[in-house]
Amino acid sequence: MPYTAEHKAETRARIVGSARRLFNRRGFTEVSIDEIMAHAGLTRGGFYNHFSTKDELYAEAISMTLECEKMTADGKEIDFTLPPSRLSEIIINAYLSDQHFQDIEESCPLVALPSDTARGGEPVRQAYRQVLEAMIGLFEASQDKRGDARRRAIAMATLCIGGMTLARAIDDDQLSAEIRHIARDTALETGGWKAKSSALAAE
């Protein structure tokens, strides 16, 4: 009996979710198709019913979180229907929070995957760019059509992604927290919002 379209879609989503978590944790080159499928509770043979190559899966794993939908603020899922100005402020605080710093497997792919993406093929780089452009577009929309809105938006995105990437790359907890704190406050000030107190947003 053939599988239904709904079953196929659910299986594909399981594969992509498994891949995303493993790629975030260990990187593209260190994760095999066998591991991805086993982590999803499936056999390797089923992989090619959904994807031609691991690169194709990698690109979809990046695109899957176009709005980083699993990100939370103060323990609650972010409401992406909020006005751009309010949503952007919340995302900046959540992006550089302690919670996002610690939750590597569910991290936004813009933070977890840039080095692998730079070495990837065209579909992978294109998917990464689309996610980045979605973030920049949101931040730009928050700037009330100022003449330098795009410049500010790119700066905010760079501070969020670069700040978290650097914070995760070092072995000094205090410096890591400082990097996130300063990147967050600078991003908020760039967008015209008041910076937080010295405590990190999620602490």
86 lies in the same domain as 184: yes
Confirm if 93 and 201 have CB atoms less than 8 A apart.
yes
39 lies in the same domain as 9: yes
Confirm if 179 and 75 have CB atoms less than 8 A apart.
no
55 lies in the same domain as 104: no
119 lies in the same domain as 51: no
Residue 198 lies in a domain: no
Domain that holds residue 132: 72-191
The pLDDT assigned to 114 comes to 67
- CATH number where 49 lies: 1.10.10.60
Provide the percentage of residues in the chain whose pLDDT is more than 90.
45
Q: Once rounded to an integer, what is the mean pLDDT over residues 180-197? A: 91
Total-model pTM: 0.78
144 lies in the same domain as 98: yes
pLDDT band at 200 (very low <50, low <70, confident <90, very high): very low
- Cα-flanking dihedrals φ and ψ of residue 40, to 5°? -85, -5
Strand (E) or helix (H) holding 137: helix 122-141
pLDDT band at 139 (very low <50, low <70, confident <90, very high): very high
